[in-house]
Amino acid sequence: MSELKAHLSKYLRMASRGSSILVKDRHEPIAQIGPPQVEAVSWRERMARQGRLRLGTQKWAALKISKLDRVVDIQASLRAVREDPSEVRRR
């Protein structure tokens, strides 16, 4: 402890360079000084933190899809809105 107090800046410098310093009080370990732990984050979390990805719940079991009583050609509508939305004629 006394050694640490006397040379705190030296030990902090060592820690910042990767050393791990065990602090003892009367031969009993009481603390440890080391470099900050690098948090392991997934690529998704990293992109989300950078504002490059909006994370969804991904809780597929909660998805409820109703059945329609008729066939709807939704792919044709998608093609239309992608290519030529003007071909929609109002009824």
Partner 1 sequence: MKYVDASAVLRVLFSEPGPSVPLVPGGRVVASQLVEIEAFRAVDRERLIGSLDDDQTATKRKELADLLAMLDLMPIDNAAIEGAKRSFAVNVRALDAIHVASAEILAAEAQGDPLEFWTHDSRQAIAARSRGLTVCGSH
Q: Lay out the site mask for partner 1 across 69-88 (x = CB under 8 A, - = otherwise).
A: -x-xxxx-xxxxxxx-x--x
Q: Distance of CA 74 to CAs 64, 81, 86, 89, Å?
A: 18, 11, 17, 16
Stretch that binds partner 1, among 9-17, 25-33, 55-63 (CB under 8 A): 55-63
Give the position of tokens 């050609």: 73
The size of the chain, in residues, is 91
Stretch that binds partner 1, among 4-12, 19-27, 32-40, 45-53 (CB under 8 A): 45-53
Nearer to partner 1, 6 or 65 (CB): 65
Give the position of tokens 């402890």: 1
